[in-house]
Structure 1
Amino acid sequence: MSAPASRSPVIFISAGEESGDLHGAALARALRQRFPDARLIGLGGARMRAEGVELLAGLDQLAVMGFVEVIRHLPFFRDLTKRVHATIDSEGVDLVIPIDYPGFNLRLAKHARGRGIPVLYYIAPQVWAWHKGRVRDLARDADEVAVVLPFEEAFLRQAGVNAKFVGHPLLDRAAPELSRDAWARANGLDPARPILGLFPGSRAQEVRRHLELFSAAAELVVARDSSVQPAIAVPRGIDRAVYEGARWPRVEGTGGMLLQYATAALVKSGTTTLEAGIAATPMVVVYRMAPMSYALARRVVKVPHIALANLIAERRVAPEFVQDAATPQALADALLPLLDETSDQRLEMVEGLRLIRGKLGGAGASARVAEIAGELLARGKR
């Protein structure tokens, strides 16, 4: 279906974190293929900017998480909300596509609905885990919700949300351009030795909370097996100052390849656990929050696992260490068997992880979302 013939469409895409920027960039590319003359405006990071999205704010300002942390940034978000709403009202926006990031994007969807602008919510808030009242907001304000986890479609449809499973966009990633040997040498690593990937987070505050812990766990691993090479994943768009003093080598901007080629990984809970599942890379999952945020989260989050990979698998494939349970010794003890290519623990985990990919649908998520966008644009404003 094509865009309205009268003029090229104006589409607002809103992503507030690293993974949203990644998926938003792929979607922007798919939208450009469908609507070459479309104007794309929004919030996001360097990847979205490279795909031609005019950004009102970047990830360095947007990537805030945790109940307590968000409160400290409320003045910024109030000002940003006013600027975004003014842009939508003045620039003739034809379609709004929020990507995850519910604290901000659900309000954006409500504003768009009030202006009669269609809303295509991509990557639904995790309402199945907590804050289930947001389901009502989705049902009221989103014309379509494109979900990327297989169990979300039925859950949301039962609550009156017009949801459609489109597959997971991580499956659309291109194959690595370098072999493991070439990639390892390019990053100062010995391809003949085991590589331990450290993934402390994609936001500065996550890195501050996890890096020292991850580094200490890696030191204990190396003390027991000196052949292991730890390497820290450094995502794009993050302040490099948060890594000052880190002992282990850093792999800049190629976290996906580090995860692909690592023998095992120590991972902050989040989308990276799904990436590890797709790559069948054995992992140990960690999550820490500010004490007050954690106390609040314990009261409202109701899921059997914190790792998305385990939720998709519907069992505890990868071990999880939350808050005070995440000690350097506990993490090192869990990692060492996974770095042994012949251990039963590693072989069992790899087998479990390989099942995850098949549950995530086929490739082409961005193209399917762009197709839904085309249908909404053809309908026009409410």
Structure 2
Amino acid sequence: MTPRPRPAVFISAGESSGDHHGAAVAREIRRKLPEARLFGIGGREMDAAGVSRIAGLDELSVMGGTEVLRRLPGFLRLERRIRRLFVTEDVRLFLPIDYPGLNLRLARSARRQGRRVLYYIAPQVWAWREGRARKLRRDCDRVLTVLPFEAALLARYGVRTDFVGHPLLDATHAPDGGVGARPTTGSGVAMGGRPSDSGRVIGLFPGSREQEVRCMLPVFAEAARELAGRHRDLDFIIARPPHLPESLYAEAGFPTAGAREATTRSWAALTKSGTITLELALAGVPMVVGYRMGRVEWAIGRRLVRVPSIVLVNLVAEAPVVPEFLQDGLTAEGAAAALETLLHEEAPARREMLRGFEVVRERLGHPGCATRVARHAIELLTNPDSERCPGTPC
């Protein structure tokens, strides 16, 4: 009797954060189901977690419609490779992580081939393009959400869903349960090892895609230079994902570090929107958010967006905790002035923002997200007739 092939899972992550979260889930699947074979697209962390990668993040890093069109032939070739691999490796479970442009198309292909689909970190249909909810209902066995309000919204569209908490809590959980403590005045070390009189390092987080960095970094760096001119005791650091070249940041004139190091060292931050705002909030880093995109994309997007803020911190807290500057409203002068109100430990704006971060932490659930996702994945792999969430509470 021929033994049944070891179960195969394909994990699809299109950005640095997805690579990190996908690696955590891969490790948990391997721990619970050692015989599983893992394939995917992602980055170095998924590599290290034992995922056999067929494409890297640099092949997927795009922003805006014109850039997508330019690289469309390459994307189509990659999709064909993945569909073939679904067949040649008998992939039983497709596990997409966010990145809906590619992952929703692959979910459709997997579903048509009779494979199970577990979507982790749901596309943000609550912000725009609610039609994606119908695709999730049609093409996914289950959708796992990481923001507290998403599960109820998707359930209204008939999507089988479950809130698993936010994966960032796994990395930022502190024994006392509070927002992570920041370096206190006088305790810091400036870039290059030079002691800082204040310990105040300002982090700049312009994004994880090359196009985002080119769009956001010039104005972020100009705001930093304005602050540096008024506060000689400040130091600055730019968060650079490992798949983007150092040369992309050279003109800014500030040193770079990985996002986690930059987060840990920052007293305050100027950041693009996105998941990074939750990371900073959970680490207790007060922030100002700025975002720009191409004028065509902005004109389309502003007509589609259905939420009062693009900042996840504000949406989770249901309050304007963090100031945001969008498109033409993002200027170096405005961003620098908003950051200036957060520089001093006892500043009212800083203390009020930190209180808002506590609300965010409480609403994001409990640590252990990767374990819960792996439980869903294994339940779908081992129980072909399963349609609903595992009996164990999530």
TM-score relative to the length of structure 1: 0.94
CA separation of 1:81/1:235 partners in 2, compared to 1, >3 Å: closer, same or farther? same
Alignment partners' CA distance in 1, 2:27 and 2:246: 28
1:205 aligns with 211
Deviation at 1:65, TM superposition (A): 2.3
Q: Deviations over 1:316-360 (max 9, x none)?
A: 100000011111100110001101112111111111112111110
Alignment partners' CA distance in 2, 1:238 and 1:212: 16
Write the letter of the residue equivalent to 2:193.
G
Conservation of the 8 A alpha-carbon contact between 2:7 and 2:92: yes
Write the letter of the residue equivalent to 2:275.
T
Alignment partners' CA distance in 1, 2:357 and 2:173: 18
Pick the aligned partner of 2:380 from 365, 376, 381: 376
Deviation at 1:262, TM superposition (A): 1.2
Q: Deviations over 1:148-199 (max 9, x none)?
A: 00000100011100010000001111679xx959984685353542111111
Alignment partners' CA distance in 1, 2:133 and 2:17: 22
1:265 aligns with 269
Conservation of the 8 A alpha-carbon contact between 1:44 and 1:58: yes
Alignment partners' CA distance in 2, 1:68 and 1:55: 27
SS for the counterpart of 2:251 is: coil
Pick the aligned partner of 2:128 from 119, 127, 130: 130
Conservation of the 8 A alpha-carbon contact between 1:284 and 1:318: yes
SS for the counterpart of 1:32 is: helix
2:347 aligns with 343
1:170 aligns with 168
Q: Deviations over 1:252-272 (max 9, x none)?
A: x2x223223311000111111
Deviation at 1:6, TM superposition (A): 3.5
Unpaired runs of at least 5, structure 2: 175-181, 387-394
Query: Equivalences for 1:159-308 in 2 at 5 Å?
Result: 159-173=157-171, 184=189, 188=193, 190=195, 192-193=197-198, 194-251=200-257, 253=258, 255-308=259-312
Deviation at 1:68, TM superposition (A): 2.6
Question: Percent of pairs identical after alignment?
Answer: 48
Aligned-pair Cα RMSD in Å: 1.9
Conservation of the 8 A alpha-carbon contact between 2:188 and 2:195: no
Conservation of the 8 A alpha-carbon contact between 1:11 and 1:38: yes
Alignment partners' CA distance in 1, 2:173 and 2:203: 19
SS for the counterpart of 1:311 is: helix
Conservation of the 8 A alpha-carbon contact between 1:117 and 1:381: no
SS for the counterpart of 1:210 is: helix
Q: Deviations over 1:275-324 (max 9, x none)?
A: 01111211000111011111111111111101111111111100000011
Alignment pair present for 1:315 and 2:315: no
After TM superposition, the structure 1 stretch with the greater mean CA deviation from structure 2, 353-362 or 235-244, is 235-244
CA separation of 1:189/1:263 partners in 2, compared to 1, >3 Å: closer, same or farther? farther
Alignment pair present for 1:140 and 2:138: yes
Alignment pair present for 1:26 and 2:17: no
CA separation of 1:296/1:44 partners in 2, compared to 1, >3 Å: closer, same or farther? same
Alignment partners' CA distance in 2, 1:17 and 1:133: 23
SS for the counterpart of 2:321 is: coil
Deviation at 1:381, TM superposition (A): 8.0
After TM superposition, the structure 1 stretch with the greater mean CA deviation from structure 2, 229-238 or 39-48, is 229-238
Conservation of the 8 A alpha-carbon contact between 1:68 and 1:293: no
SS for the counterpart of 1:22 is: helix
Alignment partners' CA distance in 2, 1:182 and 1:84: 50
2:104 aligns with 106
Conservation of the 8 A alpha-carbon contact between 2:64 and 2:294: yes
Alignment partners' CA distance in 1, 2:282 and 2:87: 41
Write the letter of the residue equivalent to 2:170.
D
Number of residue pairs the alignment of both structures matches? 374
After TM superposition, the structure 1 stretch with the greater mean CA deviation from structure 2, 186-195 or 280-289, is 186-195
Alignment pair present for 1:38 and 2:42: no
Alignment partners' CA distance in 1, 2:19 and 2:244: 13
Unpaired runs of at least 5, structure 1: none
Pick the aligned partner of 1:68 from 52, 66, 69: 66
After TM superposition, the structure 1 stretch with the greater mean CA deviation from structure 2, 331-340 or 189-198, is 189-198
SS for the counterpart of 1:94 is: strand
Alignment partners' CA distance in 1, 2:107 and 2:4: 25
- The runs of at least 4 aligned residues of structure 1 exceeding 4 Å deviation read 179-183
